[in-house]
Every structure is written in structure tokens, then in C-alpha cells.
Amino acid sequence: MSAVERALEAVLPEAEFSVWMKRVQEDIETALDHFLTPSGTVPARLHEAMRYAVLGGGKRVRPLLVFGAGSLFDAPPPLLARAAAALEMIHVYSLVHDDMPCMDDDALRRGKPTVHVQYDEATALLVGDALQAQAFWLLSEPGGLIDPARQLAMVNLLAQAAGSLGMCGGQAIDLASVGLQLSLPQLEQMHRLKTGALLRAAVLLGASCGSRLTPPQHEALERYAGAVGLAFQVVDDILDGTADSATLGKTAGKDAVDNKPTYVSILGLEQSRVLALKLRDDAHQALQPFGDGALRLRQLADLIVRRQA
């Protein structure tokens, strides 16, 4: 980075961050378009629906965290793009299945009809299945950008994050908790799995693209990921009760209608906002060992807490 670029970053950190964020979002959109099978390929309807689900929407928070963590360790952009695309495919598959009538039964996602509404339930089921398989194919494909042992460790990390002790486990707890009064620790456990597991994977995958982590580095990133993972869900709960569907791109107020336990239902709106700010501070504190190199991850923690959708 030149002296002029450093000076601009010091004066306009938010503007510079926005430029970086937009570039990463565009790069991951290009990567996803490249890694997804063309819609005309047989079976054409399935491939069209996969692209419908993945492309042209979403904040891409998980890919941003992959690239933010990768910037700490000079990770090669092509490898970051591959890891971020695989992670985003897992995330989108979870959304497609989560929206289906047998789970949350929602008709709107990312501002457009959900996959089972736009196509049909069977196609939505297969879209999720195929995206999950595509993610692991993508992350495990021999590419020469990383040694096989580290590549296998990354595949293992993503598998754990997506499985019954991660995202799927959190979704199971969520479904079983409808109409129940959960304690704050029980709610936290659910969201550390349902939401936090993939956000943790994003941070650790991005870092792993660059180099092997020392134990202190791994511990610091774990603490950061734990804080931003919970903060993301706290803010989600706040927005579900305060923003409209047009802003959110999904059905607003659905948690209350479905009688789901949330941070807002347990703590109230104001204390939920206080908790989100505390978690952001915890995330910043965790990054102190990395100094200025963790700028992107600090900015992403701020983004997660300040977001309006």
C-alpha cells in the first residue's frame, strides 16, 4: 500500500472499507457464477434453480469474513474465492431448506420468492442437496494452491460447521423450541450452532488459506468469531421486530408470529441493542494481538452490528 493510500485510509476509513467490501462482493459473485453449473446443462431446471438461489442477492457476510481473515495472512485471492464460494453454497442451501413448508415455511428470501415458491418443493429440496455437494466438491478439488493436508483440514472444518454439531444441530434446536421459554444460555447455545458455526468457519477458513495458525492466533480468532456470530443473531432478532419486509428482503416479524424465542423476546429491545454493542467490543478486544493487520475484521464486526437489513 502506498503512502497516499495509507493516508486516504486514515482519513476515510469507512469509504475505503465500502470500496473493499464492494470489490469482494463483486468478486464472489463472479466466482459463484463460474463455479455453478450453467443453467442449460441437463438437468436444466435443477441447475437454473441452483443459480436462482445463489446469485444476485445477499450481503455475502460469510465471504467477506473469509477475505477479511485472509488479509491477515496474505492468503492468495483465488484460494479465498474458492473457500468463500464453498461456504456461501452451504449457507444458501441452508436458507433454501429453512424456507420450505416443513421448516419455517417462508415465501420471501433476498427480496424474491423462495425457491420452493418459484419452482416447487421437490426442486427446492434437490437444490439444497446439490449445493451442499457442490460446496465440498469445490473445496476438495485438487488445485495446487495449498498442500493436501491443509486442504483436508479445511474440508473437515466446513463439514463440522454444517453438520449436527453445527448449523443443522442449531436448526433442529430452533424447530424444537417453537412456543417454549428458553433461558439465555440455551438461546446462546442454539445460535452458536445455527448461525455462529458457519461464521466461525468463515473466519478460520480465510485464515487457513494463508498459513498455519499458531495456537494463540487460533484462540484469538475463535474468540472474535464467537463474538461476531452471536452479534449477528442478536441484530437479526432486533431487525426482525423493527424493520419491514422490503428492507429485510424476507418476511418481517415472523419470529414473533411463529412464537420463536429470540434475544428480543427474552431481553427486550433495548437490552438486546446493549448486548450487540458489547459483543462488538468483545470482537475488537479479541483482535488486539493482530494490531493494524486486523482492520478488515474490526470493520466487519462494526458492519454486522450497524447493519439495517
Residue 145's pLDDT is: 75
Which of 257, 22, 37, 199 is closest to 133 using CA atoms?
Answer: 37
Q: Mean pLDDT, to the nearest integer, of 103-117?
A: 93
Quick check: 173 and 190 in contact, CB under 8 A?
A: yes
Read off φ and ψ for residue 48, nearest 5 degrees: -65, -40
Q: What percent of the chain has pLDDT over 90?
A: 79
> For residue 213, is pLDDT > 80?
yes
Judged against a pLDDT cut of 90, whether residue 6 lies above it is answered with no
pLDDT score, position 181: 86
Give me 203's grid cell: 473466519
Average pLDDT over residues 222-247: 89
Q: In Å, how far are 21, 24, 151, 165, 201 from 156, measured between CA atoms?
A: 28, 25, 9, 13, 10
Alpha-carbon distances of 277 from 30, 39, 89, 244, 263, rounded to whole Å: 33, 43, 29, 22, 14
Predicted pLDDT of residue 10: 47
Q: How far apart (Å, rounded) are the C-alpha atoms in residues 226 and 224?
A: 5
Q: Within a 13 Å sphere around the CA of 182, how many CA atoms are in the beta-carbon half? A: 23
**49/10: higher pLDDT:** 49
Quick one: pLDDT at residue 24? 97
> 12-33 pLDDT, tens per residue?
467 799 999 999 999 999 999 9
Mean pLDDT of the chain: 91
C-alpha cell at 175: 424447530
- The mean per-residue pLDDT over the stretch 193-197 comes to 95
Residue 11: is its pLDDT beyond 50? no
Q: Percent of the chain scored above 70 by pLDDT?
A: 93
Identify the pLDDT of residue 244: 73
Q: Give the range among 2-6, 19-23, 98-102, 258-262 with minimum mean pLDDT.
A: 2-6
41 HSE (CA, 13 A, CB side): 6
Helices 77-98/121-140 angle, 10° precision:
160
Instruction: Give the number of other Cβ atoms within 10 Å of residue 217's Cβ.
Output: 16
Residue 144 has a pLDDT of: 67
247 pLDDT more than 70: no
Higher pLDDT, 249 or 17: 17
Give dist(CA 195, CA 168) in Å, integer.
10
pLDDT at 8 exceeding the cut of 60? no
Q: How far apart are CA 304 and CA 234, in angstroms?
A: 10
Indicate whether 252 pLDDT > 90.
Answer: no
Question: What pLDDT digit, counting tens, does each position of 131-186 carry?
Answer: 999 999 999 998 767 889 999 999 999 999 999 999 999 999 999 998 888 999 99
The mean pLDDT value for 79-95 works out to 97
Strand intervals (E) in 2-120? 108-109, 112-113
